[in-house]
Amino acid sequence: MKRVTVFLTAVAICTLAAFDASAESNLALNGIALKAGVVNPDNVDLTLGAALVFDLGTIHPKVAFESYAGYWSQTDNAYGSEFGVRDFAFGAKGKYMFSNSNPTVQPYAGAGLGFHVLNAHVETPAAYSGGTLLFPGISASETDLKVGLDLGGGLRIDRGSKFAFIGDAWYTLVSDVSHFSIMVGAEYMFGR
């Protein structure tokens, strides 16, 4: 009997907490942002990247939620051979919004999970000597789907107009091609 009472009390507390949290949440498509910046992948040269971000509102007044689609690509050439890596990612992030004396500037830290469609390709031309084929040309490509963990933070500047400005830095842990990115962009706010 004691276990049943403890269980029912726990369910009641969780239910009340859920009602309180849902009263404070504001989950809706609030805006759409476009960001661009630099990406520094492991074992690959620095490159440019871009992301499309969907502001999905707040789960709690201090916890914002967003989904994203991002892309970067880098190709290197050496001795006639070409090696390239592309990453198309999509996922979601939760961001804790820190309290601040200036309400228009909102610092945040966050984490999230993403799916990364990684493509690596290599092309090597054929080698000839005096018209004799020494080495045939090689062309290979491989695509993998991997899960990545996003960790980072940034600033959101919202002066109450249709646009908010975003600047952030994220480190993404992905098997074989982890990367650090710094991006800036603007978010168009719906309903303003």
Asked, for residue 12, whether it belongs to a domain, the answer is no
Asked, for residue 97, whether it belongs to a domain, the answer is yes
124 vs 110: which has the higher pLDDT: 110
Residue 90 structural domain: 27-189
> Are the CB atoms for 148 and 68 separated by under 8 Å?
no
Asked, for residue 87, whether it belongs to a domain, the answer is yes
The per-residue pLDDT for range 117-168, each reduced to its tens digit, is: 999 999 988 888 887 877 788 888 999 999 999 999 999 999 888 999 999 9
The per-residue pLDDT for range 5-41, each reduced to its tens digit, is: 444 455 445 544 444 444 477 888 999 999 999 999 9
Across the range 72-89, mean pLDDT stands at: 90
Asked, for residue 111, whether it belongs to a domain, the answer is yes
**Mean pLDDT score across all residues of the chain:** 87
Asked, for residue 171, whether it belongs to a domain, the answer is yes
Q: Is the pLDDT of residue 110 over 90?
A: yes
Report the predicted TM-score, pTM, of the whole model to 2 decimal places: 0.78
- At 132 the pLDDT is 82
Asked, for residue 52, whether it belongs to a domain, the answer is yes
Structural domains counted in the chain? 1
6 vs 176: which has the higher pLDDT: 176
The CATH number assigned to the domain holding 161 equals 2.40.160.20
